[in-house]
Amino acid sequence: NNGTPDRLSEYDTKPSDIFTFVSTNRLVRDKGIRELIESFKLFHEKYPKSQLILVGNGPKEEEEKYIERMMFR
């Protein structure tokens, strides 16, 4: 266990009007995470009451790249 359940507890699990996508993967290039983030950006522009939660780990530099891509608000 890499501590993922503790990190998930940061998110509100009460019912809401926010549509939530959750992806559980190793955060590495060959898993298509970049494409997922880019696709979600387009979805989020049309449906702002949405969120994407990425659960996983990977090489630190890969994780940082994904976090940078997610900071689009």
If you write DSSP's letter for every residue of 4-73 in order, what string do you get?
A: HHHHHTTS--S--S-EEEEEE---SGGGTHHHHHHHHHHHHHH-SSEEEEEE----HHHHHHHHHHH---
Q: What is the pLDDT of residue 73?
A: 47
Q: How confident is the model over 36-58, as a mean pLDDT?
A: 88
Cα R_g (the chain), whole angstroms: 13
- Average pLDDT of the chain to the nearest whole number: 76
Q: What is the pLDDT of residue 11?
A: 57
Q: pTM, whole model, 2 decimals?
A: 0.62
Interval 21-44: pLDDT, tens:
888 888 777 888 888 888 999 999
